[in-house]
Structure 1
């Protein structure tokens, strides 16, 4: 890999870390970049996943103010991301890529629809639980398995994982969108972390790529957290939809 290619991978990691902290879908920047430089798809995927882990942690740290008071919620939901991320990594190593590629656009589209209609759906869910004293701290009963499925997807590929997580959390948990975005960053870090650990042990990893993406993603995570935390709920929702549409378009044109 030449010097200019290394610089491009570093910048791609920075951009991905920034986007992941705000929404997710940073993989749509780094993964195609690696493919364009001739990195084999599986090696690109596993190296990219490991490289983005420090950026996810950086984004979560950047949202530490919003995470205050959510320890119990985060720990409970993190177990779902942990299991899901491990399952997703195993599926990537065991199944052909075509097995999931067909359903990815449908998942992204579903996430976008849920994000757009999240206020109305959330109000309906809250009303349904009102007779029971409101939604529990950890959210509706289906939130944990839904987060687990997002973890499976995140461990397998991960592009637009943040869009799906924000749709699930925004509808199933009664809390401010920015606070839930902080939770999203932690859950994405857990899913990427466990899948990255599995890849590091059994898969073909290019550690030079990991280092370049990791350095860029850490810087981007802080930039994204600083900028994303200033967005109002409506602005954040619009940004999620824009990124999600870009992700959907990229998959459909691939």
Structure 2
């Protein structure tokens, strides 16, 4: 690993940490950076998952007042997320690189679209408050499906989980955010365990990006007070759209 790759991954990790702290959407920056460093697509995805994993847990612990009670419903949600994350990771590792790279532009594009529509999704879920709630079976199936996606790719998972949880629990958005971060952590850790056991992580590059992400997350805690989140969101959306086009040209044309 030469110094240009070290600098690329460290800067991408720092940018990702700041972006997650201010607006979310770090994977749209960090995953393409792993690809640009020359990693195979599956390895890049697995390594990226490890590098940005601490973000959700740190965010959850930052609002400890709203941590949920460890009751039966929370336990079931954790089990669904762990099972879904492991399933998604196993599906990813079962695919050869030549097959995984085909949907990469679409996955980045989908995550960018979800991220761009996040305010509308939030408004929609707010409008759903007070209306008929989904059945427990439907809510569990949706959570499991989101967790499988999170273990497979992960970008946009936080937004998807927020939408799902806001419908099921419309009372307290802070509690929803904390629960979202805890469940996303469960998905990430389950997927990471599979990636590590299957030796799918490229550690030197991962540790460089992880160090950058931790530093960026710490800096983001201060920058969130002065950086307009909407401007950061727009930059992430533009970057995600550009990456979608670039990788569509590379892999599809």
Within 5 A, what are the aligned runs for 1:10-159? Answer: 10-21=10-21, 24-65=24-65, 67-72=66-71, 74-95=74-95, 96-97=99-100, 100-101=103-104, 104=107, 105-106=109-110, 109=113, 113=117, 115-124=119-128, 126-129=130-133, 141-159=137-155
SS in 1 for 2:38: coil
What's 1:251 paired with?
Answer: 244
Shift in Å, 1:82:
0.8
Structure 1: which 5+ residue stretches go unaligned? 130-134
Q: State the alpha-carbon separation in 2 of the partners of residues 113 and 212 from structure 1.
A: 31
Residues 162, 36 of structure 1: alpha-carbon distance in 2 compared, 3 angstrom cutoff: same
Q: State the Cα deviation string for residues 133-179 of structure 1 (Å, max 9, x = none).
A: xx8xxx96533322221211111111111221222222332133333
Structure 2: which 5+ residue stretches go unaligned? 248-253
Residues 171, 89 of structure 1: alpha-carbon distance in 2 compared, 3 angstrom cutoff: same
Q: Is the CA contact (8 Å cut-off) linking 1:25 and 1:161 kept in structure 2?
A: no
Q: CA RMSD in A?
A: 3.5
Is 1:189–2:182 an aligned residue pair? Answer: no
What's 2:215 paired with?
Answer: 219
Shift in Å, 1:10:
2.1
Aligned length: 241
Task: Using structure 1 for the length normalisation, give the TM-score.
Answer: 0.75
Q: State the alpha-carbon separation in 1 of the partners of residues 245 and 114 from structure 2.
A: 15
Q: State the alpha-carbon separation in 2 of the partners of residues 241 and 79 from structure 1.
A: 35
Q: Is the CA contact (8 Å cut-off) linking 1:56 and 1:186 kept in structure 2?
A: yes
Q: State the alpha-carbon separation in 1 of the partners of residues 163 and 11 from structure 2.
A: 28
Shift in Å, 1:240:
6.9
What's 2:251 paired with?
Answer: none
Residues 223, 122 of structure 1: alpha-carbon distance in 2 compared, 3 angstrom cutoff: same
Q: State the alpha-carbon separation in 2 of the partners of residues 251 and 34 from structure 1.
A: 15
Shift in Å, 1:116:
0.6
Shift in Å, 1:106:
4.9
Q: Is the CA contact (8 Å cut-off) linking 1:23 and 1:163 kept in structure 2?
A: no
Q: State the alpha-carbon separation in 2 of the partners of residues 238 and 77 from structure 1.
A: 34
What's 1:132 paired with?
Answer: none
Task: Using structure 2 for the length normalisation, give the TM-score.
Answer: 0.75
Shift in Å, 1:99:
7.0
Residues 253, 239 of structure 1: alpha-carbon distance in 2 compared, 3 angstrom cutoff: same
Shift in Å, 1:108:
5.8
